[in-house]
Amino acid sequence: MPYIERIYRPVIDKYVDHLGGFLKSEGDLNYAITTLLNKWIMDEGLCYKNLNSAIGVLECVKQELYRRVAAPYEDIKKEENGDVYQITSE
Q: Enumerate the domain spans of the chain.
A: 48-78
pLDDT given at position 89: 79
What is residue 70's predicted lDDT score, i.e. its pLDDT? 98
* pLDDT value for 49: 98
Residue 57 to residue 73: CA distance in whole angstroms: 23
- Within the chain, which residues score under 70 in pLDDT? none
DSSP the chain: -----GGGHHHHHHHHHHHHTT--SHHHHHHHHHHHHHHHHHHH-SSHHHHHHHHHHHHHHHHHHIIIIIHHHHHHHHHHH---------
What's the confidence (pLDDT) of residue 43?
Answer: 98
Q: 17: closest CA among 26, 9, 28?
A: 9
